[in-house]
Amino acid sequence: MLNNYFPQVPDRITFEGKDSKNPLAFKYYDKNRRVGNKTMAEHLRFSVAYWHSFMGTGADLFGAPSFKRTWHSFKSPLDRAKATMEAAFEFFQKLGVEYYCFHDRDIAPEGETFAESCKNLERLVDHAKTLQAETGVKVLWGTANLFSNPIYAQGAATNPNAHVMAYAAAQVKHAIDATHELGGENYVFWGGREGYETLLNTDMKQEQEQLARFLHMAVEYKRTSGFTGQFLLEPKPAEPTKHQYDFDASTALYFLKQYDLIDHFKLNIEANHATLAGHSFEHELAVASAAGKLGSVDANRGDTLLGWDTDQFPTDLYSTTMAMLIILRQNGLGSGGLNFDAKLRRSSVDPLDLFYAHIGGMDAFARGLLIAQKILDDRVLADFVAERYASYRSGIGRDIMSGAVGLNEIEQWLLQNGEPIPQSGRQEMLENLLNSYIQ
């Protein structure tokens, strides 16, 4: 049992029920409790984001790092990376999460050269393998950091310089290998700098073709290397670039379809990216799910008063309930999960805050799951929605949908059947109904 970095936390955070006042206990997340046809753990598949929780320093645009992490105190970059990994696994084990997600450059330091960076990554992958075997914790997804290194200032796959695109492609090859080696169930592509700052210097069509070629090469590499994880594309409208090519779920789906990539990808939907795009979290989940492409979720939240990616831990029960309704209706996330792509506030300097943040996020989704399952069991929304569209199941509605009639026949039908009678959408009644379940 690892116990060096969080000695003040017991071996395992336990479920104590909703009346518990212990901040280091779950009030709703009871991993073995059955909800519908699965346990809570099977439904929720929680994952910790290595970058925010173990590489995060609390630094922001206006100030220096505010967190002093013992695992960052080692001088040599490799020793520091190893200590960070041990702290991370101690945390995963004590929290009782089964998954983590990582970027290549989170788990291993960048070297002086590409070859050195690859060697560092291999060493830390070996270390992760040992820690995974010791703890049973698994990789939900891996990814490549194609945005921090200054060579990517003008994009990675979409860089105007083919040499940089080649560097990114080689880096992705190694990140896929690392994910494969660690048994990762998915691999994520987030286009961190795949966008533009000004159209004055940008050939948008050329850049999108480059991105498509890049993803096709990854698909081909996946096939030949034997990696069987699901590829996921993560939309985000802006930040760091002014306009990112994978703006939102619709844009990403159209891109995948246009470039013949749609069969090889699903989407990883992030709550705060949805709101930055001017959508709600549930809108983006619904768009992806309707297309059969909701693969995984980055569980966080933004702030309604701030227009950037604040990546806060999820606490809003309306939002987790709506998310779980969509996830349950599509019968789960398959190989995906709920990854806390969320960071502590700059002032939350105590490592204990990492526990409080994750416990809160896990409880918020466990509650959302319970509420959503109850709404589905009671069929209160399902029956209403089915009734709302009932006119398409017989008569003219069925003929329209089956293609049996065209505009001529419809006109004849309308002349014989007169004016439609408006029916209420009952929005307020349904909002009250939802409120009655949120408790």
Rounded Cα–Cα distance for residues 338 and 320 (Å): 11
Nearer to ligand XUL, 46 or 190 (CB): 190
- The H-assigned helical ranges of 136-248 are 162-181, 204-225
User: Is residue 106 annotated as part of the catalytic site, yes or no?
Assistant: yes
For ligand XUL, which is the closer residue by CB, 156 or 366?
A: 156
Residue 298 interacts with ligand XUL (CB under 6 A): yes or no: yes
Could you say which of ligand XUL, Co ion, none residue 284 binds, taking C-beta under 5 to 8 angstroms by partner kind?
Answer: none
Pairing assessment for the beta strands 46-49 and 243-244 based on DSSP bridges: unpaired
Distance (Å, rounded) from C-alpha 363 to C-alpha 424? 36
Q: How far is C-alpha 333 from the geometric centre of its chain's CA atoms?
A: 11
Query: What is the contact mask toward ligand XUL in residues 98 to 127, using x (rule: CB under 6 A)?
Result: -----x------------------------
* Nearest distance from C-beta of residue 249 to Co ion, angstroms: 14
Residue of 30, 104, 106, 311 marked catalytic? 106
- Residue 50 identity: Y
The active-site residue, picked from 43, 52, 103, 279, is: 103
Nearer to ligand XUL, 177 or 270 (CB): 270
- Which of 93, 117, 120, 143 forms a contact with ligand XUL (CB under 6 A)? 143
**What is the distance, to the nearest Å, from the Cα of residue 50 to the centroid of all Cα atoms in its chain?**
13
**One residue of 341, 344, 361, 368 binding ligand XUL per CB under 6 A:** 341
Pairing of strands 195-196, 243-244: antiparallel
User: What radius of gyration, in Å, describes the C-alpha atoms of the chain?
Assistant: 24
Give the C-alpha separation, 150 to 108, whole Å: 17
Considering the rule CB under 5 A, would residue 309 count as an interface residue with Co ion? no
* Residue 246 touching Co ion (CB under 5 A): no
Number of residues that bind ligand XUL (CB under 6 A): 10
Give the strand pairing for 186-190 and 138-143: parallel
Q: Distance between CA atoms of 431 and 301, rounded to whole angstroms?
A: 22
Q: Which does 312 bind (CB under 5 to 8 A by kind): Co ion, ligand XUL, none?
A: none
| ∠ CA 72-77-81, rounded to 5° | 60
188 binds ligand XUL (CB under 6 A): yes
According to the binding rule CB under 6 A, does residue 313 interact with ligand XUL? no
Burial 299-321 (b: 16+ CB within 10 A, else e): bbbbeeeeeebbbbbbeebbbbb
What are the CA-CA distances from residue 122 to residues 80, 107, 116, 168, 175 (Å)? 15, 10, 10, 17, 10
Comparing CB distances to ligand XUL, the nearer of 101 and 325 is 101
Q: Establish if 284 lies at the interface with ligand XUL (CB under 6 A).
A: no
Tell me how far, at minimum, the Cβ of 307 lies from ligand XUL, in Å: 14
188 binds, among Co ion, ligand XUL, none (CB under 5 to 8 A by kind): ligand XUL
Least distance to Co ion from the beta carbon of 49, Å? 7
Point out which residues bind Co ion (CB under 5 A): 270, 298, 341
By annotation, the residues acting in catalysis are 103, 106
- What residue ranges bind ligand XUL (CB under 6 A)? 103, 143, 188, 190, 234, 236, 270, 298, 309, 341
